[in-house]
Amino acid sequence: MDSMTMDANFTVDGQKSTVKLLQHGGSVACQRTTIAYCNVSSSRRKSRKAHFAATSDVRRKIMSAPLSKELREKHSVRSIPVRKDDEVMVVRGTYKGREGKIVQVYRKKWVIHIDRVSREKVNGATAPIGISPSKVVVTNLKLDKSRLAILERKGKKDAMKQ
């Protein structure tokens, strides 16, 4: 089977865009575009591939955790990407109820390491246990200039939606 390509030109909200469509077999795929959501697929295997092949900057966003009720009211933000030195509490799983500081955000394995969540190995060394960021609640944020800017920006967005 030969693959066929064609260009499609169209305007969305006054912005002109060109999309290169690749037709191979019975499917059509988008390639290089300025339109958002062109590469979104409802196919299970494509979604899984996009998730597991995600770059580090995309993984950062996916590895977000909800804020505690107090922080949510204070900042008007529901969730935020986790980072080292945030304080969290595990709310699901074997380690439910444990609190601690994030020691490492391990993007390659999609987990975070928390200082009080570890186990002792047979040789006596302690090994950190990886916890999914979706299973924790952020209880205290490490705030710096860039983090405050993110909170301010997200807070304004949430205020506009209401």
Residue 88 is assigned to a structural domain of this protein: yes
The pLDDT tens digits of the residues spanning 83-102 come to: 999 999 999 999 999 999 99
**Do 105 and 82 meet the contact criterion of CB atoms below 8 Å apart?**
yes
Q: How many domains does the chain have?
A: 2
101 in the same domain as 68: yes
Q: 56, 58, 63: which is closest to 108 by C-alpha?
A: 56
Residues 14 and 74 in one domain: no
In a domain, 45, yes or no: no
Q: What is the 3-state secondary structure (H, E, C) of the chain?
A: CCCEEEEEEEEECCEEEEEEEEEECCEEEEECCCCCCCCCCCCHHHHHHHHHCCCHHHHHHHCEEEECHHHHHHHCCCEEECCCCCEEEECCCCCCCCEEEEEEEEHHHCEEEEEEEEEECCCCCEEEEEECHHHEEEEECCCCHHHHHHHHHHHHHHHHHC
Banded pLDDT at 41 (limits 50, 70, 90)? confident
Whether residues 93 and 130 fall in one domain? yes
Is 48 contained in some domain?
A: no
Band (pLDDT 50/70/90 cuts) for residue 14 is low
User: Same domain for 21 and 72?
Assistant: no
Least confident of 9-18, 24-33, 110-119, 125-134: 24-33
33, 35, 46 from 10: Cα distances, Å: 11, 10, 26
CB count, 10 Å around CB of 20?
13
Same domain, yes or no, for 31 and 80?
Answer: no
12 φ/ψ angles, rounded to the nearest 5 degrees: -130, 120
Residue 27 domain-assigned?
yes
Q: Tokens 């949430």: give the residue.
A: 158
pLDDT at 35 over 60: no
Residues 11 and 74 in one domain: no
Task: Report yes or no on whether pTM surpasses 0.85.
Answer: no
Q: Higher-confidence residue: 7 or 35?
A: 7
Together in a domain, 66 and 130: yes
* pLDDT at residue 34 in the model: 47
- Domain extent, residue 72, equals 59-161
Same domain, 68 and 100: yes
pLDDT, tens digit, for every residue of 103-132?
Answer: 999 999 999 999 999 999 999 999 999 999
- Whether 82 is in a domain gets the answer yes
